[in-house]
Structure 1
Amino acid sequence: MATVLQLAPLLLALSVIARLAWTYLLPNGANFVDLHVYLGGAGALNTPGTLYDYVYADQTPDFPLPFTYPPFAAVIFYPLTLLPFGVVALGWTLGIMAGLYGLVWLSQRILGVDGGHRSAMAFTAVGIWTEPLRSTFDYGQINVLMVLLVLAAVYCTRDWLAGLAVGVAAGIKLTPAIAVLYLLGVKRWRAALWAILALAGTVALSIAVIGQQARHYFTDLLGDAGRVGPIGTSFNQSWRGALSRILGHDAGYTAPVLIAVAATAVLAWLAWRALASDAGEPDRLGLVLVVALLGLLVSPISWTHHWVWLIPLLVWLLQGPYRYLGEARALGAGWLVLILIGVPWLLSFAQPSIWETGRPWYLAWAGLIYPAATVVTLGWIAALRLRFPGGKRSCQYRAP
């Protein structure tokens, strides 16, 4: 371990160089389709009333990509439309790398890890090549920033600033709004209120700037998963996506999906109780991870790049309060292997079309991989309360 930490700066430099070479030297190293959507949608503000009519199809003729984000996102992205796309794409790529390092560093600070910057460098060097980050780089996605803002809220002791981080993140992309459950669960009432107010502020600002298109989003388009993409593709690792592949059609929120969602919610509640009842210091990272994993499974669509939360999960399993348990190390190793291989990505080569939900049973069940691994992880966390009844279960961190 000491040798790895000593080599961490070199490993990170090589990893960054290799990723940039992959992006810019290989024919299909990156297409930045989502970044094109961000900027294209923002650019549509120049023509009033066209924001949610915009679609990007230059590289995706079989799947024209509409602007599906809250109107505040278009306002935030608009200044980037004034720059050449190539400049924005390079800055975005470097920003993802810096953000990845930031979320690892924040995860360690929340845990109280005092291993210096080398440990964060090592995690970042490896994290660049995991499936959630590979797809983030390929598409030019924004999820690293979303996770970073939520972790900043967890780390920050000032309620107004923590709430502002969550509210702004939710204003750009709705999924971080589930972090309000974390704030309520740890009884940070003022931070939760600030988050709601900040989100409301983003809505008010977007209506003031954009007008009718902003109102159209919140009254007509909000919650329409059909605009986001094909539910049944292997890249969708939510319960709805996984069960749709098994059933052979979009399961919607019918009984099988609702049962899975309800069972996951109960399991997440038990996992929360297990961590919250520890006699030691509150496990803030573990608690927010329970909420994030729940959100990933109950969302109608959780693309593989939404699963950036698996990087803080690895930090928690391998460096957190339960790292001395063999099960924690085994889960950490299992998740690491899983996301380095990229099973949903491999399965995508076997699906005839992203729009076809039906497939052979063995491919359908294999596509259950992220939900199944998440259930195992939450179940293990929940079982900690039974394994260590009535006492302090975690251990204090000692620097390597």
Structure 2
Amino acid sequence: MPAELSTRRKTLAEWERRLLALAPWLLVVSALVRAWTIVTGFGNETIDLYVYWALAPHVLSDDLYQVTSPNSPPDFPLPFTYPPFGALVFLPMTWLPWVVAQWTWRLLSALCLYWMVRVALRHVAGTGWTADAPLWRRRALLWTALLLWMQPVYHTFEFGQINLVLSAIVLGAMLAKNPRLAGAGVGFAAGVKLVPAVSGLYYLAARRFAAALWSVVAFAVSVGLGFAVDPAQAKHYWFSLLGDASRVGPVATAHNQSLRGALSRTFGYDVGMSWPWLVAVVVAAVLTGFALRTAVRSGDALLGVLVVQFFGLLVSPISWDHHWVWVGPLLIWLLHTRGTPWLRRWLLVLWCPVMFLDVIAFQLDRQPTIWTISRPGYLSAIGWAYPALALLTLAGIAFVIGRRAVASRGVTPGLSDVGA
């Protein structure tokens, strides 16, 4: 058995060596192919980016939440759904011609994907990042090439969404040691889009109270700026529109991979905040609490970041499939972190087909419209793909990794240790 394991490790190491040698070229080819599929298909419209580009200037004309995108689908007028501060952030982009804005945003999103990969790898590498920097830099290129094919990443480019940009900011901030930087990154990101506010749970669990306080200050500044520029619209958003999921989109569409979306598809109606949702949220919260304790006790900041982000995706009323770009850093963590190899291996086996095969399109192709809630049982089951795996991952972190947590955290030298 040891001989077989040694042989398998050598084979994996050899495959990794060959792939790393080709990493720059694989990234170029991957980027070109993905760019081609985006610009020759639906992604050429970048329909969500057009909402930001067309509607953000209305923050200066007192009707930000009364207008909809002129590029909306016939059955779904697209409004601006972020706080007024979000419109202010997008405002400079609206000064660019549309095509220039499109490609600028695509390039920025690609750079943010690479940044997320580097930050995650640098964390799992520890001192190995400095000791063998060329190796880890090539791994960053290889991971970026691979993650361009992950469906949440691809759909982020296709729709022109903000997920990669915000996730890169939040990840970099949460792993920063400076409390002001850590807090400001999360606070201002939450000011653009509320979901990153869940990051504060990790600061509290890790007793990073200064970072938590600075995040509250930054968020308060973002809200204040919104009121300063457009008091009436800011008041309308925070006191009338906040929490209105129907304004964001159809809750039960396969695109929505939150607990509420999955439960609504299962029950055949929007469950809202009724007992099924409350029960599911309690389960998610308990698993998150134990998983977060595991991350804090093991000193694994990246794991703590992933735990709270998955919790936010689960309990948010709407978590579009492209919001799940956080699975990218999770895959990096699963492959390169030492300990509980059988759990990491099985989580990789389960997550990869869901992430790299378009299970969302499979469901949408079998529904009359995105507004249809009732559906066959097998489609309801497939519609649990993201949230079910997220709950399973949290449970594994809480009750498997948590039991075997050790004082010191190790890092694998590469692919060869996945089966160790």
Establish whether TM, by shorter chain, passes 0.5.
Answer: yes
Deviation at 1:327, TM superposition (A): 2.0
Measured against aligned partners, the alpha-carbon deviations of 1:17-71 in whole angstroms (never above 9, x if no partner) come to 11222222x243432111111112212234x221001211524111111100010
Measured against aligned partners, the alpha-carbon deviations of 1:301-326 in whole angstroms (never above 9, x if no partner) come to 0001110100011111111233x612
Q: Which residue in the other structure is 2:335 paired with?
A: 318
Q: Write the distance in 2 (CA, Å) between the matches of 1:321 and 1:148.
A: 24
Q: Which runs of 5+ in 1 are unaligned?
A: none
Measured against aligned partners, the alpha-carbon deviations of 1:87-114 in whole angstroms (never above 9, x if no partner) come to 0101111111111010011111222262
Q: Which residue in the other structure is 2:91 paired with?
A: 78
Q: Which secondary structure state, in structure 2, belongs to the residue aligned with residue 39 of structure 1?
A: helix
Q: What residue identity is the alignment partner of 1:135?
A: H
Q: Write the distance in 2 (CA, Å) between the matches of 1:109 and 1:261.
A: 33
Q: Which residue in the other structure is 1:207 paired with?
A: 227
Q: Which residue in the other structure is 1:351 paired with?
A: 367
Q: Write the distance in 2 (CA, Å) between the matches of 1:287 and 1:77.
A: 30
Q: Which residue in the other structure is 1:96 paired with?
A: 109
Measured against aligned partners, the alpha-carbon deviations of 1:99-134 in whole angstroms (never above 9, x if no partner) come to 101001111122226242111111111111111011
- Residues 1:157 and 2:171 aligned together: no
Q: Write the distance in 2 (CA, Å) between the matches of 1:284 and 1:27.
A: 39
Q: What residue identity is the alignment partner of 1:34?
A: D
Instruction: Specify which of 307, 325, 328 is matched with residue 324 of structure 2.
Output: 307
Alignment of 1:114-263 (within 5 A): 114=129, 115-263=135-283
- Coordinate RMSD, CA, aligned: 1.6
Instruction: Specify which of 111, 115, 119 is matched with residue 106 of structure 1.
Output: 119
Residue identity over aligned pairs, in percent, reads: 42
Q: Which secondary structure state, in structure 2, belongs to the residue aligned with residue 52 of structure 1?
A: coil
8 Å CA contact 1:150, 1:176 repeated in 2: yes
CA distance 1:307–1:386, change in 2 (3 Å): closer
8 Å CA contact 1:37, 1:65 repeated in 2: yes
Q: Which runs of 5+ in 2 are unaligned?
A: 1-15, 130-134, 416-420
Q: Which residue in the other structure is 1:30 paired with?
A: 44
Q: What residue identity is the alignment partner of 2:200?
A: V
Q: Write the distance in 1 (CA, Å) between the matches of 2:402 and 2:208.
A: 27
Q: Write the distance in 1 (CA, Å) between the matches of 2:156 and 2:357.
A: 15
Bigger drift between 53-62 and 214-223 goes to: 53-62
8 Å CA contact 1:30, 1:137 repeated in 2: no
- Residues 1:6 and 2:21 aligned together: yes
Q: Write the distance in 2 (CA, Å) between the matches of 1:85 and 1:11.
A: 30
CA distance 1:72–1:29, change in 2 (3 Å): closer
Q: Which residue in the other structure is 2:356 paired with?
A: 340
Q: Write the distance in 1 (CA, Å) between the matches of 2:44 and 2:365.
A: 17
Deviation at 1:399, TM superposition (A): 6.3
- Residues 1:42 and 2:52 aligned together: no
Bigger drift between 328-337 and 287-296 goes to: 328-337
Q: Write the distance in 1 (CA, Å) between the matches of 2:55 and 2:198.
A: 25
Deviation at 1:150, TM superposition (A): 1.2
Number of residues paired by the alignment? 393
Q: Write the distance in 1 (CA, Å) between the matches of 2:327 and 2:183.
A: 23
Deviation at 1:365, TM superposition (A): 1.5
